[in-house]
Structure 1
Amino acid sequence: MGQAQGQPARSARCIALVGPYLSGKTTLLEAILARTGAINRQGTATAGNTVGDASEEARHHGMSVELNAATVEFLGDTFTFLDCPGSIEFQADAANVLGACDAAVVVCEPDEKKVPALQLILKQLEDRGIPHLLFLNKIDKAETRVRDIVPMLQPASTVPLVLRQVPIWESGIVTGFIDLALERAHVYREHAPSKVVDIPDALTDREQEARFSMLEQLADYDDELMEQLLEDVPPPRDKIFDDLAEDLREGVICPVLLGSAENGNGIARLLKALRHEAPFVEVAAARLGVADAASCAYVMKTIHTAHAGKLSLARIFAGTFADGDAVFGGEAEERIAGTFDVLGQEPVKRGPGKPGDTVAFGRLESVQSGDTLSTDKNAVPSIERAAMPEPVFGLALVAKEKKDEVKLTTGLAKIVEEDPSISVAHDQDMGQMILWGQGEMHLRVALERLIRKYGAAASTYPREVPYKESIRKPTQVRGRHKKQSGGHGQFGDVVLDIKPLPRGSGFTFSETITGGVVPKNYIPSVEHGVRDYLNTGPLGFQVVDVAVCLVDGSYHSVDSSDMAFRQAGRLAMAEGMPQCQPVLLEPIMAVEIAVPSEATPRVNSIVSSHRGQILGFDARPGWPGWDVVQAHIPEAEIQTLIVELRSATAGVGTFQARHDHLAELVGKAADQVLSHRRDQAA
């Protein structure tokens, strides 16, 4: 059970609410707050008056775009619930959160189309060893029998989905449920605790059948229970609850409960299951390797607020953390400026935090999400940071007004601090600042937040593609720089052989000078001149895969200089390169696309429409029902790939890309690129 019932104090628990997009997580949080008395009345997402999703961006888009937290009391126990966004574009917000939680409630609809999205959530929980149960939400709108829904959802989970309740139907409407562990029937009452009633005679056989199925699944992990079932001995109720708690903690089952968050149905039963079966903080501490720490808090999330400044939302695993305490583990020693509970995203002043508590620390300026903190400078434990997903969508941006450049830079730094799955890169070659994220909506919300919170409006543009150019044939050319303007003149004379190299060879410079026609001390200057030219070739792009050899030349004993030979080298390249049949090169990316298997044919079509070459596909290791498609796709065609990919896969497809090689680009596509470059240069 995680902690003996006889102990006088039970530590607070931290529970993540996760699940596919629009499954009802924020509504469930609201229902929990109402049922525990944390709020007087349950709001709705439609009315825009929920504690969660209170930001303008969340309400404008009608979806969770950031983590929301709330701490409640239920039957003397304390729980902090962390409502995590469901869209794949915002799920990274939960990456640092999940590991520090005691358990997760996976909120799901009875909808087969949501199985791939559900699998994304469950796979992460299973891989990280986080106990979890499934809350089958919107049961009042189900059009399929629960006995069919659970097998339908089972492919999303590698562990058995164990049905804990069966619904009571009247005239096609779910009016309550039967608890299979307690063998009690409950009738729903809207936004009120359900009423215990006798099990309807018509459902006795169904209840017995479902209960035996549940016990059989539990018996797979308990030999004593198996013997009792084989001998038709009714197992004690406490034995069943002990097995449910142990199997949940061990991660060998995923219990399934029913309800309707919108109507407040099934909420008390869910809370009681968490109260009796969710493990306490010691289990999570052991999982994270900090069971022996004397002082330990893990920063799950950074929040920048208008009034309280920077808040670091942290789970405390050991020791006490109070206002004014010095903490270590960030970039520098910091002092806590206030401890807070968080309701939604609003801080509420509180006293010191103790093991199990989820607390926001005020103004730890150097502390980042993923840091492990301690009040003991000499014994700071370390909890592994969660890996952030690679970015899949990027936009170039500049401040709309020059006076806002500092605001933009400052605001972006805070946006990245709050959401490490967003990053900012400065592309020196293209002269662009790139905002990277997990999708189009992800960056749209970030830009909206930039304006609202930091007053920094940015203009966005497609990223410039780093095209290159090369040559197809060789030439020999002379370059002479001669200038007389009184006093010493300038004289440099070179003959260069220019030849193409195999793709990927880069640039080489050599010399075959004999007889000192070009003094050796000037040869490096010739190479510098050649390299100067290669930055922008005849087509307007950096030149690659070219060999240049200095074969002849002449000099003047007085007027020659390093600068003159550098200029001569540059002039020779400018004269000779247009004669070498310049060709445009575009970067080709090696792309791995991960999608549910049924979407693979659609993805193959998308790749082809993006001028891509499919190299093959195979089953995705460790992901039943998923494929990985390997392809080569031009970088210019990848910019919007994620948008089409998500559309074709109900929002779950993703990809990874890395530069592979350069390939010649000709025809209409090349003409468009060259026209765009000429317009830029004009």
Structure 2
Amino acid sequence: MVDKANGSAAGGGRGPAADRPEHIRNVVLVGHSGSGKTTLVEAMALTARAVNRAGRVEDGTSLSDYDEIEHRQHRSVQLSVVPVAWAGMKINLLDTPGYADFVGELRAGLRAADAALFVISAAEGAEGIAGATRALWEECAAVGMPRAIVITHLDTARDEFDVMTEACRTVFGGGSSETILPLHLPVYGPKNPDGHRPVTGMVELLPNYIGDYSSGEEVQGEPSPEQLPDLEEARNRLIEGIIAESEDESLMERYLDGEEISLETLVTDLERAVARGSFYPVLFAAPAPEGAKQGLGTVELLDLITGGFPTPAEHEVTAVTATNGASPHQLSCDPDGELAAEVIRTASDPYVGRVSLVRVFSGTLHADDTVHVCGHGLEVRGHESHDVDERIGAISSPFGKQQRTLGQAIAGDIVYVTKLSRAETGDTLSATGTPLLIEPWPMPDPLLPIAIRARSKADEDKLSQSLARLAAEDPAVRLEHNSHTGQLVLWCLGEAHRDVALERLRARFGVQVDVIEHQVALRETFAGKATGRGRHVKQSGGHGQYAVCEIEVEPLPGGSGIEFVDKVVGGVVPRQFIPSVEKGVRAQAGRGVAAGHPLVDVRVTLYDGKAHSVDSSDAAFQTAGALALRDAAAAAGIALLEPLAEIWVIVADEYVGPVLSDLSGRRGRVLGTEPHSTGRTRIHAEVPELELSRYAIDLRSLSHGTGDFSRTYVRHEPMPDQLAAALRGEIARA
């Protein structure tokens, strides 16, 4: 039992290492940026006596004192884990970034957790429940993850608890759901001078009493006659919702017949419904009244986590395959089973090197074990695919900057592991004799291109290795060496993601880079048919150079490339030099003939020329072929081709109009719209890639964070004359 007066429970604090999966709870906190996730984690850690009143752990640091970049950015940019002990259980609280740019860290937290707490801020009001949060709720529902809702910031609320609860029912449950119901209600005190009403107590609906904390200690009492009707309605609704989800089919009939259902039965059925993901309780958390030893609602929240959320043993292990071709049996969360663990985050420590945050799904991981590290094969994002054996170093339990050394980590636990120099985020750790690969979690596609270059020669020497380390830490980053433009491009999820990536390069890896304008791979083609003559004649001491060729160039349909045709008759160009002419033509086409972009989609016909018995050579005819192509280009005129992308935009229904209007302004062609899911529409369009450089940012703004899109290159198309002329003017002035 929990002693609320002392704000502690058996096994309070950080507690001993877990000895069985049944004694572990892995809970991820998700919610919009500013919803209060980190504050809630710290409040629960205080209640569990894992930190002191100042929010400090034993070494004097705070729970969030891990990444200096977070402090400079004034935002949470990475997943963090805070283990606390409560009621004899180890609870791993996974605090995720709320900002959309760091959704990769959020998805890592979802993979590592067995249940989710959705943290909703009342200060933002009912309309502040972002569409991204709704999409995340649906994502959790798709995999059957148990969920609960915590309302925060009631002391500065725009909307009170009952309004926020109904909004959650509407957004998450379609408005008619009887499975999203509050477990307790706040009791408000008189208004402050600033007009806000602090929370001074709570109504415990199932035990049916009011706990008043205005004196600093809980004083239990009965509802007043004025409070009684509303409280009875809320209590009856909660009881009926629990009974509706009960596995005991006779319970509803007994309740309707007037039988008083025992508190023990209701709590047991509630916890079972929460654990299987069919009931989603709503709780609140509020700052402690003056003199109180913990914040309001944290005890009840910790009780729900330990009693209602599932153990790792109840969470099915993600799909696993054997890399040696064998067919592995279905793994379970068994400490004595086959080892299967996953790296959910990678960081660099200045003293110990690479540190991996690992979730053990099966088996037991021991310090100094040799394990097999299997890469995820995301080569297209700059992540090397690998299958190697490595010896791990120390195993520790994360807690701010302080690390508590452990001898082992059993199935279900989350720990830090050192000395895995090859392991990257998303990699699988398994036994060396039976290498396994856990199916990686879905990662968002980074769609904001950032072209960079090293600031100095010293930076250039370190850049390649530093980018590889950056990619190892952050699988949401994609690295591209664009062969068409010659640029090094860092693809990110948004501006904040970009800023953090560049800051990590500077502060963590000591590399300075400059951001330059991102170039789109344009092409050139002939606007019409033309002929050209290439004459390369030079005379000097010894052998000279002599080659003349005449060609005809005509445009071809898009995607045809360069077609070379030999129509020489009479041997005016010797047979051995015809491939030389083609080589020169293709080389010049690769360099471009007008604005420096590759020439495509033309047929080049060689029909005449001249040669010299002594001075003609392979090099001379290559040069003549290039000159002929340039001569023809000057006569015909060149059209610029720009790449066209096919995009699919998924957006909330209320933002379809603004998104369609914006696509039209980007010279896009909308090909169709169709329903995607409840309240969301999918838009199919083709848009020039020149117009998509900042679309990841602009779409988020247009859709209030509810929009998402994917893009695929389709083809090159002629650029409008006005834009092409402006671009040529820029090149001429450069």
Q: TM-score, normalised by structure 2?
A: 0.85
- Is residue 502 of structure 1 aligned with residue 557 of structure 2? yes
- Is residue 187 of structure 1 aligned with residue 212 of structure 2? yes
Counterpart secondary structure, 2:23: coil
* Contact 1:28–1:261 (Cα < 8 Å) also in 2: no
- State the partner residue of 1:470: 525
In 1, Cα distance between equivalents of 2:563 and 2:519: 27
In 2, Cα distance between equivalents of 1:369 and 1:136: 32
- State the partner residue of 1:121: 136
Counterpart secondary structure, 1:510: strand
Counting only pairs closer than 5 Å after superposition, residues 273-672 of structure 1 correspond to structure 2 as 273-286=304-317, 290-291=331-332, 293-330=337-374, 331-344=387-400, 346-374=402-430, 376-535=431-590, 536-619=592-675, 621-622=676-677, 624-672=678-726
In 2, Cα distance between equivalents of 1:186 and 1:421: 46
Equivalent residue in structure 2 for 1:20, among 32, 43, 65:
32
- Is residue 39 of structure 1 aligned with residue 68 of structure 2? no
* Contact 2:117–2:150 (Cα < 8 Å) also in 1: yes
Counterpart secondary structure, 2:664: helix
* Contact 2:523–2:597 (Cα < 8 Å) also in 1: yes
**Deviation per residue, 1:283-339 (Å, 9 max, x gap):** 224465521743222221112112222111112233322221111233311112111
* Contact 1:53–1:63 (Cα < 8 Å) also in 2: no
Aligned residues, how many? Answer: 668
Equivalent residue in structure 2 for 1:265, among 288, 293, 296:
296
- State the partner residue of 2:232: 208
Quickly say closer, same or farther: Cα 1:287–1:543, change in 2 above 3 A.
Answer: closer
In 2, Cα distance between equivalents of 1:268 and 1:492: 90
**Deviation per residue, 1:627-682 (Å, 9 max, x gap):** 223333222221122222222233332322222232322454323322333355xx
The more displaced of 215-224 and 10-19 is: 215-224
* Contact 2:40–2:285 (Cα < 8 Å) also in 1: no
**1:439 Cα deviation (Å)?**
0.2
- State the partner residue of 2:14: none
Unaligned runs of 5+ in 1: none
In 1, Cα distance between equivalents of 2:614 and 2:99: 72
* Equivalent position amino acid for 2:77 in 1: V
**Deviation per residue, 1:213-271 (Å, 9 max, x gap):** 22333344333332233323222333322322222232223221112268722111100
* Contact 1:509–1:527 (Cα < 8 Å) also in 2: yes
Quickly say closer, same or farther: Cα 1:25–1:74, change in 2 above 3 A.
Answer: same
Counterpart secondary structure, 2:640: strand
- Is residue 154 of structure 1 aligned with residue 169 of structure 2? yes
- State the partner residue of 2:281: 255
Quickly say closer, same or farther: Cα 1:189–1:596, change in 2 above 3 A.
Answer: farther
In 1, Cα distance between equivalents of 2:19 and 2:517: 61
- State the partner residue of 1:141: 156
Quickly say closer, same or farther: Cα 1:539–1:522, change in 2 above 3 A.
Answer: same
The more displaced of 515-524 and 350-359 is: 515-524
Quickly say closer, same or farther: Cα 1:345–1:201, change in 2 above 3 A.
Answer: farther
Quickly say closer, same or farther: Cα 1:201–1:634, change in 2 above 3 A.
Answer: same
* Equivalent position amino acid for 2:235 in 1: R
**Deviation per residue, 1:347-370 (Å, 9 max, x gap):** 332332222321111111111222
In 1, Cα distance between equivalents of 2:120 and 2:427: 31
**Deviation per residue, 1:577-597 (Å, 9 max, x gap):** 111121122222222222222
**Deviation per residue, 1:90-109 (Å, 9 max, x gap):** 12112233123121111112
Quickly say closer, same or farther: Cα 1:544–1:28, change in 2 above 3 A.
Answer: same
Counterpart secondary structure, 1:332: strand
* Contact 1:53–1:65 (Cα < 8 Å) also in 2: no
Counterpart secondary structure, 2:106: helix
Structure 1 stretches of 4+ with a deviation exceeding 6 A read none
* Contact 2:652–2:703 (Cα < 8 Å) also in 1: yes
Counterpart secondary structure, 1:89: helix
**1:437 Cα deviation (Å)?**
0.8
The more displaced of 337-346 and 424-433 is: 337-346
Quickly say closer, same or farther: Cα 1:261–1:544, change in 2 above 3 A.
Answer: farther
**1:175 Cα deviation (Å)?**
2.5
* Contact 2:548–2:609 (Cα < 8 Å) also in 1: yes
In 2, Cα distance between equivalents of 1:608 and 1:156: 30
* Contact 1:134–1:257 (Cα < 8 Å) also in 2: yes
In 1, Cα distance between equivalents of 2:370 and 2:550: 69
* Contact 1:96–1:385 (Cα < 8 Å) also in 2: no
* Equivalent position amino acid for 2:130 in 1: V
**1:42 Cα deviation (Å)?**
4.2
Unaligned runs of 5+ in 2: 1-9, 11-17, 192-196, 290-294, 320-329, 375-386
**CA root-mean-square deviation:** 2.6
Counterpart secondary structure, 1:130: coil
* Contact 2:61–2:401 (Cα < 8 Å) also in 1: no
Counterpart secondary structure, 1:20: coil
In 2, Cα distance between equivalents of 1:655 and 1:640: 12
Counterpart secondary structure, 1:99: helix
* Contact 2:523–2:641 (Cα < 8 Å) also in 1: yes
- Is residue 235 of structure 1 aligned with residue 261 of structure 2? yes
* Equivalent position amino acid for 1:213 in 2: R
Counterpart secondary structure, 2:101: coil
In 2, Cα distance between equivalents of 1:265 and 1:272: 13
Q: TM-score, normalised by structure 1?
A: 0.91
* Contact 1:527–1:569 (Cα < 8 Å) also in 2: yes
**1:429 Cα deviation (Å)?**
1.6
In 1, Cα distance between equivalents of 2:299 and 2:451: 49
In 2, Cα distance between equivalents of 1:667 and 1:195: 78
Quickly say closer, same or farther: Cα 1:8–1:395, change in 2 above 3 A.
Answer: closer
* Contact 1:16–1:101 (Cα < 8 Å) also in 2: yes
Quickly say closer, same or farther: Cα 1:224–1:550, change in 2 above 3 A.
Answer: farther
